[in-house]
Amino acid sequence: MIHKLSNAVITNLINHLRDSETESLRFRQIVQQLARLLAYEAFGILHLEEKKINTWLGESSFSFIQEEELMFIPILRAGLPMLDPLIEMFPKAQSGFLAMARDETTHKAVLYYDKVPECQGKTVVLLDPMLATGGSLADAIEFVKKHDPKKIISLNIIAAPEGLEAIEKAHSDIDLFIAQIDERLNEQKFIIPGLGDAGDRSYNTTG
């Protein structure tokens, strides 16, 4: 299921990402802020657990997110800045890593590194700012599904309608939270208007 976020703060932050003058430190900071905003929205669908804790008024029950069940998996490189804000918020969560790059000619994703812990019983949260054709995310979902998680959530910042459609078709059982749906893909499969290559912009790699 696709969940589209809509608020002025998100729009404002995304439009700063589109600005070529936004340098890499600020770019990563905005990606981190957007990751937090996506998580606030997405984790509303999680089951809360009642736990007894000691408070200044004595023992009482309160609800908590089961953070030990969370596993964050950024899709490198561009997804990497989204990880820190989330593990700061949920320090008991686990992290895994998938590194993918799109082949420039075929536009298909190639997995070149993976390090993912045991996923059984986990809510796996995939992190990638960009969803263009949806190929990288679809491959990441297939990879994770083979490890039998309890649930898969994807947090993405900008998507092309084509990519969302592809994910909805292939993996309608996951929950995808998207901050901005742009117009379309161009012939090179870049998101229009988009923001360029998020991995390069995050880490000043071009040139």
Catalytic residue among 106, 148, 173, 184: 106
Q: Which residue has the tokens 């390069």?
A: 200
* Contact call for residue 134 and ligand PRP (CB under 6 A): yes
| Catalytic residue list contains 103 | no
β-strands 97-102, 70-76: how paired? parallel
Quick check: 198 binds ligand PRP (CB under 6 A)? yes
Taking CA atoms, 75 is separated from 66, 110, 115, 179, in Å, by 23, 12, 11, 17
The region of 40-48, 50-58, 176-184, 195-203 touching ligand PRP under the rule CB under 6 A is 195-203
Q: Which one, of 189, 121, 180, 118, lies nearest residue 155 by Cα?
A: 180
Q: How far is the CB of 84 from ligand PRP (least distance, A)?
A: 16
CB 121 within 8 A of CB 152: no
Which residues lie below 8 Å from residue 69, measured CB to CB, with a gap of 6+? 121, 122, 123, 150
Q: Where in 73-102 is the site for ligand PRP (CB under 6 A)?
A: 75, 77-78, 100-102
Q: Give 175's strand partners.
A: 153
Write each residue from 145 to 174 as x if it is in contact with ligand PRP (CB under 6 A), else as -, in one continuous string: ------------------x-----------
CB of 171 to ligand PRP, least distance (A): 13
Write out the catalytic residue numbers. Answer: 102, 106, 197, 200
Interface with ligand PRP (CB under 6 A)? 75, 77-78, 100-102, 109, 128, 130-137, 163, 189, 197-199
